[in-house]
Structure 1
Amino acid sequence: MRRDPLDLRHCFRGLSQASVEEIVEKRLGYRVTQWSDVSMSDWYDKYLSNDQVAYATVDAHCAFLIGRDIGAWEFNR
């Protein structure tokens, strides 16, 4: 299992400058919007807003699906 983050932009041809939204749409066929006001909000606050929780949930789930589909655990070998 990988211990360090894998930059998906370097795993796919033509996506080296892609945003998270573009990678998700190309790899999963989902259109997601990651609002900058949420991504730039205070993630160190004691309590996260509902928007922050939703943002993190979508982000983590999409990362899992892409990682599963490309066999990300194999990149360590």
Structure 2
Amino acid sequence: MWISDIERIHHRRLHFLVVGLDIEWRPNFTRNIQNPVATLQLCVGRRCLIFQLLYAPYIPQSLVNFLRNPNYTFTGVGIKSDVGKLVEDYNVVVARIAELTTMAANAYGVRKFKYAGLKTLTEEVLGKEVLKPKRITMSRWDNQWLTRPQVAYACIDAFLSFEIGRVLISGNYY
């Protein structure tokens, strides 16, 4: 339903749709062991989808097709490793990605942005401050029922990935 709504609302710009993307998984403090992706977060405008991959009996074909659409640009920080983890854990492919740190470094001519996180990019590109409490970032993303703060955090990360991407792409820094 989320995908249908997005494609209906944004039908005039589907050939250059920007989608914020992020993932979360259970933190692991043991070397050489990586937990699978637990949630996939997507955002277009003010509409976010938090999809719990870990508990899905299958990944809907509509979601697979959405992620594989070469007309859509998925934006995020560390997006290459995120989509690599989606392929590795679920064999889910994302067709077209844009790394926000590279875009911001090119847009502003500031080399250090290549190593920035979402919090820094939010401050620099959007002029807004965002809180990223460790108790949420390092929480149990593999729980079947996410807490309200987890859902809010997941939406905010996906929204900021979208909004920063939208700003940078509209300035033709892509």
Is the shorter-chain TM-score for this pair beyond 0.5, marking a shared fold? yes
* Corresponding residue of 2:100: 8
Instruction: State how many pairs are aligned.
Output: 74
SS at match of 1:6: strand
Structure 1 residues 36 and 4, CA gap change in structure 2 (3 angstroms): farther
One-letter code aligned to 2:134: S
Deviations 1:17-74, CA, capped at 9 Å, x for gaps: 21211000111111001112211111121100111011111111111111211228x8
Contiguous gaps of at least 5 residues in structure 2: 1-71, 74-94
Structure with higher RCO (Cα < 8 A, 6+ apart): 1
Instruction: Tell me whether 21-30 or 61-70 shows the greater mean CA deviation.
Output: 61-70
Bigger share in strand: 2
The two structures have a TM-score, normalised by structure 2, of 0.38
* Corresponding residue of 2:51: none
Matches of residues 33-52 of structure 1 in structure 2 within 5 Å? 33-52=131-150
Q: 2-side partners of 1:12 and 1:68: how far apart?
A: 12
Contiguous gaps of at least 5 residues in structure 1: none
Bigger share in helix: 1
The two structures have a TM-score, normalised by structure 1, of 0.79
Contact 2:122 2:129 in 1 (8 A): yes
